Structures are given as structure tokens and as C-alpha cells.
Amino acid sequence: MNVLVIGSGGREHALVWKLKQSPKIKNIFCAPGNGGIEKDAKCVDIKADDIKGLRDFAEKNSIDLTVVGPEIPLVAGIVDCFEEKGLKVFGPSQKAAQLEGSKVFSKEFMKKYDIPTANFQSFSDMEEAKIFLENKVFPVVVKADGLAAGKGVIICQNKEEAEQALDDIMLARVFKDAGNRVIIEDCLVGEEASILAISDGNQFVVLDSSQDHKRIFDDDMGPNTGGMGAYSPAPVITKEKMVDIALNVIGPTIQGMKEEGAIFKGVLYAGLMMTSDGPMVLEFNVRFGDPETQAVLPRLKTDLLDVFLSACDGMLHETRLEWDKGACVCVVMSSRGYPGVYEKGKVVEGLSDADDCADTVIFHAGTKKQNGQIVTCGGRVLGVTSIGNDIEQAIAKAYNAVEKIQFEGCFFRRDIGAKALKYKEELSEKRI
Ligand code: AMP
Ligand code: GLY
């Protein structure tokens, strides 16, 4: 089979790496890919948002399956565009992608179908939003409606901060049209986790849990990023909670979307807060998480191509996922300055030493090949990923490999996976 993966990040490298293990794959392409994906796939110089260009490529190269990584082409309708030409593509339609593309749609949907989430109000008028703030208990969370590359969520400790957030989003329009409407919602307290589920529109399978590390600095300090590392499984999601999430979040979402006439085929990503009242949805995404995917897929034993094909063909009821019993940790190495401004073009050294480390794979994100060398070209540069019998082992292996890699201004968190260790300690204290 000929497969095309769309995107250029660590997530797409992990998808390519995993798909390639399928004996059914003849050719695997990635558009546009990156410096590391080049080793595993034929990279094609077409941007992820060039929908027509990608469709032409898929037609000309007899692509049997296209897998879409990022949200922008999904929200722009890439799946509808491919399907019009009879091309098989794994991902939701434009209508279904609204679950990520519009927070107002997503919150109204959750309210309608009784899916647990924070109480909220939506506004298209800034003055009305400001009046609403008068009687609020703080903190509150202000969210721009549309896609804002993960930056459109502001936790406001008091009225002044909330008014400032509204001014920025609705008046200064820092997120452009994504700020035409806003959500103001209650601030939830708890530990976060990510659940990814694959659906064919009717049935779904839930992937093992994972946890992202969104803040730039250790101990969850500093500004939000795209994600500085992840591990899987996340012990905060017990077996019972997983059942709860499948029954009360994923199931009703797939069913509700069907009722809305927006059948959901693809990956449903539920960003959850584990509150004292149970799991609550912070957000839905309609794609694989980055870097969660890098931590989840190395533990998946099942052929991912088969899973995607079953989802596209409405045959997911035949699918059972098998998992490695151990743990996986992905440490993101980033460019100094990220998530703000950072320098590019730094030579990355030590990659082959790191690659030689046992049970370790280096997923590339912001890299490119230049004069035979790998150089940085993005904020998140690499996802150094190791699998171990348990979380301690996976952490040790991943950081051992991280130490072998250098580039000027390299930055990474030193506490990826530490939250999982805490559960182990608690468990052993209980046993004593
Ligand atoms: P989102 O893009 O909606 O997932 O929001 C990004 C991050 O903001 C989440 O991962 C949470 O850390 C935080 N967040 C979003 N909504 C809430 C909320 N209602 N309460 C507390 N934190 C939130
Ligand atoms: N890791 C967060 C996301 O993929 O949205």
C-alpha cells in the first residue's frame, strides 16, 4: 500500500515510524516532513495546508490511505476534499472538525449531550462579556473560540486580568477571527490527562492514557507550550476512570456527533481534568496529540495501518488494541526562547549516539537537513523517547539519551514523568 502522512512535527514522525512497521506498506510519503522523517519516509515538499496540492499528489501517486496530522487542514476541510475524489483519508470531515475548530461549538455540544465539562457562557459582544464578569468568582478561564495554536486560553486570577484577556482577544484581535467569539468558563482544579480514541463514526477504540507537560519549566511553571514531554500510561487514569471516560465522554461524543449529522471518523482527543467530581473535558481535539502520540504509539503492538483502515471502512468493531505493559517517556528538546522567539539553524550533534541507546527512538520535530547535517528549524526540536519495563526505567533511558544530544541553546524539562512516580511512591507507602 502507498500511504501519505501529512504534517511535519514529532507527532507525524511517530505516525510514520509506527505505520512503517506494517508489512502491508510499500511506500510511505510525508508532506512536508522534517529532517528526521526523511530517514523513514519519502518527504514531499507540499505544505500541510495546501489541500489541493496534497490531493493532486495523492491522486498522481496512487495513495491508498492519507493520514492527517495537524488540525489546520482538518478544520479547513481536507477530508471532504479528498473524499470528493474517492481518496481514502483518516480524519474527520470539516463539520466534525468543529469540535476542535470552534470552542463555542464544542462547549454547546457538550452541554447538549451532557458531557462533563466546566460551566461556561459564550459571547460575541465584548461589553456583554465584561458585564458577565461582574458577578464571577475568580479565577475564570477566557478562551478564544477558534484555532489559536494552543495560545487562546487565558487563566485569569481577577477581573482586571479577565478584562485584559477580553481586550486582547476581541479588541486588539491578537488571534484574528479566532477571537470573534469567546468562552468564559469556570476554572477546574485537578491533574490533567489525555485520552485518544479512534472512531469509525459508530464504534470506537480507546488508546492507552498519557499525560502532557504543557508548561515550559519544571514543576509546571512558566508559560504554556505545545507540550514539553509526555508519558504513557498515566496512572491518574485508573481502569475505573478509563471506563468512566469511555462511557461518559467518548461514547456520548461519537453518538452525539452522529445525531448532529457530523459523523466523527478519526482521532478524538479528550483533554481532561481529573477533578474531585470526576473527569471533565477541558477541550476536544480532532487529531493525535503532540507529544502524547510519541509516548503512546511505541507501546502499541497492534498494526496501526490496520486500525486506520478499519476506521475508514467502518469496521472498527473487529479491532482490539494490544499494548506493551511497560511505560514510555518522551522528553522534548527545544530551542532556547521557545515558546517565545528562538534562534534557528543550530547544528544538532550526538544523534547517532542517542539513536544507539537501547529501547530509544528520536522523533524529530523542528529539524531539517542542511549540507548533510541536521539543524534546528523550530521551537520543539526533538522528542527523545524511550520505553521501559516501568516508568522509572523509561525516564532513566530517555534522559540518558537526551544527555548524548547537543545543540546551541538546547533546553528541556528535567521532570518528565515525575508525576507518575508520585503514584508509585503513594502505592508503596500504602503497602507499608
Ligand atoms: P485548552 O486548549 O482548552 O486545552 O486549554 C489549554 C490549557 O489551559 C489546558 O491544558 C489547561 O491546562 C488549561 N485550561 C483550559 N481550560 C481550563 C479550565 N476550565 N480550568 C483550568 N484550566 C484550564
Ligand atoms: N499536546 C497538546 C496537543 O496536542 O494539543
pLDDT at 84: 97
106 alpha carbon, closest ligand:
1
Average pLDDT score over residue span 2-20: 98
CA 371 – ligand 2 centroid, Å: 32
CA 272 to chain centre: 13
Closest of 119, 115, 99, 110 to residue 248, by C-alpha: 115
CA 428 – ligand 2 centroid, Å: 32
Minimum-distance ligand 2 atom for the alpha carbon of 11: 4
pTM recorded for the entire structure: 0.96
Mean pLDDT over the full length of the chain:
96
Lining residues, ligand 1, CB within 6 Å: 118, 141, 143, 150, 153, 155, 185, 187-188, 192, 214, 271, 282-283
Residue 162 buriedness (CB in 10 A; 0-12 / 13-18 / 19+): buried
Res. 429 pLDDT band, cuts 50 70 90 = low
Task: Among 285, 288, 296, 330, say which to mutate for ligand 2: greatest number of ligand atoms within 8 Å of CB.
Answer: 285
Task: Specify the residue for cell string 484581535.
Answer: 173
Task: Specify the residue for cell string 476542535.
Answer: 100
Domains of the chain: 2-91 (3.40.50.20), 119-186 (3.30.1490.20), 192-318 (3.30.470.20), 327-419 (3.90.600.10)
C-alpha cell belonging to residue 19: 505505520
Res. 150 pLDDT band, cuts 50 70 90 = confident
CA 50 – ligand 1 centroid, Å: 30
193 alpha carbon, closest ligand:
1
Residue 431 has pLDDT above 60, yes or no: no
Average pLDDT score over residue span 287-310: 98
Cα 127 to Cα 104, 133, 176, 182, 384, distances in angstroms = 18, 10, 18, 12, 47
Average pLDDT score over residue span 3-8: 98
Average pLDDT score over residue span 133-157: 92
Closest-CA residue, ligand 2 atom 5, reads: 289
Residue 46 has pLDDT above 90, yes or no: yes
Closest of 263, 233, 292 to residue 420, by C-alpha: 233
CA 109 – ligand 1 centroid, Å: 18
pLDDT at 427: 62
